[in-house]
């Protein structure tokens, strides 16, 4: 879940298209105030003596933590594919659980059956994604599920890798008209099964920590922030009637005694309130300028933040919707570069995700005012594909 001024994801997506993406088409390349000559020199000097790959960074944190948050920066294929590529490395590092925010915990029995089945049931995988969010029809999420199934299929006779669903059921049927998503009474019904971040932390504690297991958590950027306070989110959740549910999942886990956890972020655009259009380079573009000093696979890096020059890089005011400035070492424990953001590609929509059998239910569960809902199955599927495709046009400006 991302921190937004309204929990209505679809209305937000439409606003992003209108007020973020479109203006980006008519501006010059985003500025990089953080990519100064002195900064680049310091970073390259340190990098030349400490050359960790993204996989090496991940494995180091696998060995030393019980809960590893791995945040996708948005619906970009490359970050998602990287997270998926780590699944074969989990077992050898005693990580028994792959936990995800894009499946509902209420469906856990079906998920267990899916990832331990004799064959991979694509229809069931699509149904489980649909149950979580009717707009979640993306191949990247299905591929992650498939990778867990494949790992279990190829390693019979040992304890299967578990795919753990973290999300509560979110009831979008109660949102009918404009204004509903600002109505605390309606929002309390939307989140009747639990506020996502708190719910996710509770499931991790119950299903992983209390059992002495380890988990890789594939979640959103905001869920994974343990050291950043987003005041607007806290104020909004308090106003909705959830004063005890204002902390993000990673922070709730970080505060548990005797639990080692970490956050690894993958490079991608950040929401930055102080930026003219609300989205910008992370850290003032320092890491993007740094990457340009290298070519090809050398641009793929794992950066320990701790007491390193990377960790001293500072976020712009308003990053993630927060009022403060943060060092990268406060934001995350490691940072992964997978090449320039401009080379990323968008998620791929699953064909006919909305079909004759689920169209009526998709209309009932549309996550926004029903007057802006797609009018037929074709429009619905195009809307899902279009939401992802827009990111490639945004990235052209980086």
Question: For residue 102, what is the enclosing H or E element?
Answer: strand 97-104
- Round to whole Å and give the CA distance between 274 and 321: 9
Tell whether 329 is covered by a domain: yes
Residues 37 and 290: beta-carbon distance below 8 Å: no
Tell whether 380 is covered by a domain: yes
- Round to whole Å and give the CA distance between 80 and 82: 5
Tokens 């060995």 found at: 63
Structure-token pair, residue 366 = 């549309």
Tell whether 140 is covered by a domain: yes
Tell whether 2 is covered by a domain: no
pLDDT tens, residue order, the chain (398 aa): 333 444 454 444 443 444 444 444 334 567 888 999 999 999 999 999 999 999 999 999 999 999 999 999 999 999 999 999 999 999 889 999 999 999 999 999 999 999 999 999 999 999 999 999 999 999 999 999 999 999 999 999 889 999 999 999 999 999 999 999 999 999 999 999 999 999 999 999 999 999 999 999 999 999 999 999 989 899 999 999 999 999 999 999 999 999 999 999 999 999 888 777 678 899 999 999 999 999 999 999 999 999 999 999 999 888 988 888 899 999 999 999 999 998 999 999 999 999 999 999 999 999 999 999 999 999 999 999 998 888 877 777 77
C-alpha distances (whole Å) from 193 to each of 169, 170, 180, 190, 277 are 6, 7, 18, 8, 34
Tell whether 293 is covered by a domain: yes
Q: Supply the pLDDT for residue 28.
A: 55
Which residue range(s) make up the domain with 280? 9-395
Residues 42 and 309: beta-carbon distance below 8 Å: yes
Q: Supply the pLDDT for residue 391.
A: 80
Tell whether 1 is covered by a domain: no
Tell whether 318 is covered by a domain: yes
- Round to whole Å and give the CA distance between 395 and 398: 5
Instruction: Please work out, in degrees rounded to the nearest 5, the angle formed at the alpha carbon of residue 229 by the alpha carbons of 223 and 231.
Output: 105
Tell whether 3 is covered by a domain: no
Number of H helices and E strands in the chain, helices first, is 17, 9
Q: Supply the pLDDT for residue 16.
A: 46
Indicate the SS3 state at residue 181: helix
Q: Supply the pLDDT for residue 29.
A: 63
Question: For residue 202, what is the enclosing H or E element?
Answer: helix 196-204
Q: Supply the pLDDT for residue 292.
A: 95
How many domains are there within the chain?
A: 1
């Amino acid at each position: 879940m991302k921190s937004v001024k309204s929990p209505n994801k679809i209305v937000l997506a439409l606003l992003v298209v209108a007020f973020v993406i479109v203006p980006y088409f008519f501006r010059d390349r985003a500025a990089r105030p953080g990519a100064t000559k002195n900064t680049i020199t310091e970073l390259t000097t340190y990098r030349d003596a400490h050359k960790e790959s993204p996989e090496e960074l991940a494995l180091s944190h696998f060995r030393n933590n019980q809960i590893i948050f791995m945040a996708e920066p948005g619906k970009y294929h490359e970050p998602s594919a990287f997270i998926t590529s780590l699944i074969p490395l989990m077992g050898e590092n005693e990580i028994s659980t792959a936990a995800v925010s894009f499946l509902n915990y209420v469906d856990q029995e079906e998920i267990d059956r899916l990832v331990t089945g004799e064959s991979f049931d694509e229809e069931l995988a699509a149904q489980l994604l649909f149950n979580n969010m009717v707009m979640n029809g993306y191949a990247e999420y299905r591929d992650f599920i498939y990778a867990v199934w494949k790992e279990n299929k190829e390693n019979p006779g040992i304890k299967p890798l578990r795919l753990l669903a973290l999300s509560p059921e979110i009831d979008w049927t109660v949102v009918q008209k404009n204004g509903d998503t600002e109505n605390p009474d309606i929002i309390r019904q939307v989140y009747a099964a639990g506020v996502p971040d708190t719910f996710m932390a509770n499931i991790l504690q119950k299903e992983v920590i209390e059992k002495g297991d380890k988990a890789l958590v594939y979640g959103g950027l905001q869920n994974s922030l343990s050291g950043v306070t987003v005041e607007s989110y806290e104020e909004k959740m308090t106003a909705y009637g959830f004063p005890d549910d204002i902390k993000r999942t990673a922070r709730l886990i970080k505060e548990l005694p005797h639990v080692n956890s970490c956050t690894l972020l993958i490079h991608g655009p950040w929401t930055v309130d102080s930026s003219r259009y609300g989205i910008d380079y992370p850290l003032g573009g320092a890491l993007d300028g740094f990457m340009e000093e290298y070519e090809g696979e050398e641009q793929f890096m794992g950066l320990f933040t701790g007491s390193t020059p990377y960790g001293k890089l500072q976020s712009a005011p308003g990053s993630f919707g927060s009022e403060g400035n943060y060092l990268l070492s406060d934001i995350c424990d490691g940072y992964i570069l997978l090449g320039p953001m401009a080379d990323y590609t968008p998620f791929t929509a699953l064909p006919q995700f909305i079909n004759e059998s689920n169209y009526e239910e998709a209309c009932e569960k549309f996550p926004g005012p029903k007057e802006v809902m797609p009018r037929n199955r074709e429009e619905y599927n195009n809307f899902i594909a279009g939401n992802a495709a827009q990111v490639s046009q945004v990235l052209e400006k980086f």
